[in-house]
Structure 1
């Protein structure tokens, strides 16, 4: 169901060593964008330059809810009457979003995750970056309209399951998009929930949000029986590993390193959480405590 909300004011940002915070300015209303095409095969990961991320002002408003394309009509009835002419269904539609380009870690994570999934058969994928210098076109730059359109592209009616992986800075009000409308803004849970409703509907859906305070994505309607949600931190805790010299954030590295060693989403969550806790203990940081939600309809959902 479509829901409309008022802008939320962003709380003051508290700087912490290694915390994955974001920066930017206000955004304009989201504009429609053409559907994206899958990005070419990912390149090797690179470490960020040994420089500090400049301190800038966080956006004062979040991305507003706006009308988004309705999901395509279900064609199951037509398929049942003409089985011979129906193409084979794709198992998953997967979208990977690097929300900020102040460091290389976010693009490194989406590249590697993309490369892991592209080896699987019957998967439609798209990857968005916030770095205009490496984006093949404007359609691959992570903005409000392009994320909406890309999610629509990878989750067409012939895809049976949805996967969304997002990594960036974050605050207690949302996930940071440095290129949103050209100035930067926060993507709140209610807007992501709206997009998921429009494009994934009631199909099995997995959402992974890697950012400070990303536990907020377990609220505001996100917890649905057809969804699995994994987040890098509690809704009141930062995550770590956003230093200029990091190849990945702590959470992203633990998640990606665990991927090939597990068989279920629950195992992935448990192994990743343990890995993060170990690395944060070495740092002497307050634990970020990654969170998870497993909807009743997808508790035993197989991984791609």
Structure 2
């Protein structure tokens, strides 16, 4: 695509609830929008937080894993495990971003506006790769929380992710998994395209659970990862994950998060990597 300018709405974010994966306060102020340029050429390599294979020109999948916050370990735990699952597959390009500066090998591995854009460009270096993006963090009704942006935290809205996917994945089969409270918002604002599958941890008006300090994974992430080896298609994975989440939330006595999904007509039967 031609060079375009992305504008990301920076919103101050503060404390979080211990169990639900949502922000605990409304933004106290809105900073001036920050321009995020889209790379016109392939982005420089962004290494992952684990041993990373040399990118292959024949890679079938490019996968990016994003932990948007480091207030609890559950988010990095999920991206680390998901990365390891996909890393066992042949012909994949992978990158993993953290929000914890204490474990990031360099600033290029910290989840920020520029690094996410660059990493997505890295894992889709040719026109062959199918796209997979897994994002896990706290959420709010207007988007996905990134704790390291602008020094105070920011919300990544669906329209910006949609534009990144257009720029780097184009019309190729694309799977986006957003694990956060209110993540059903990522089924709006242009995200629903015929070449995309979108799985979210909750409805756009519901919280998701498992963000307590003692949790290894959020409920949705654990159910998704535990269901992986029993599924062959994304449709089947979604069904198993949704049933698992419902069972755990019933045990908790919580208001159901109701994970959501969209399956574009061009990829409804797409197999998992």
Q: Same fold (TM over 0.5)?
A: yes
Q: Does 1:92 align with 2:61?
A: yes
Conserved 8 A contact 1:90-1:158:
no
Conserved 8 A contact 1:8-1:173:
no
Matched residues in 1 for 2:89 and 2:81: separation? 14
Matched residues in 2 for 1:251 and 1:242: separation? 10
| Alignment RMSD (CA, Å) | 2.6
Moved >2 Å (runs of 4+): 1-10, 12-17, 22-28, 30-35
* Equivalence for 1:143: 112
Over 3 Å counting, the alpha-carbon distance change for 1:196 and 1:259 in structure 2 is same
How many residue pairs get aligned? The number is 259
Conserved 8 A contact 2:131-2:174:
yes
1:215 is paired with a residue of what secondary structure? helix
Superposition deviation, residue 89 in structure 1: 1.4
Q: TM-score, normalised by structure 2?
A: 0.87
Greater Rg over alpha carbons, structure: 1
Matched residues in 2 for 1:151 and 1:4: separation? 15
Structure 2, unpaired ranges of 5+: 38-42
* Equivalence for 1:176: 145
Q: Does 1:223 align with 2:192?
A: yes
1:90 is paired with a residue of what secondary structure? coil
Conserved 8 A contact 2:141-2:185:
yes
Structure of higher RCO (CA pairs closer than 8 Å, 6+ residues apart): 1
1:301 is paired with a residue of what secondary structure? coil
2:129 is paired with a residue of what secondary structure? strand
Range with greater deviation from structure 2 (14-23 or 231-240)? 14-23
* Equivalence for 1:36: 46
Superposition deviation, residue 41 in structure 1: 3.8
* Equivalence for 1:132: 101
Structure 1, unpaired ranges of 5+: 43-86
Q: TM-score, normalised by structure 1?
A: 0.79
Range with greater deviation from structure 2 (18-27 or 286-295)? 18-27
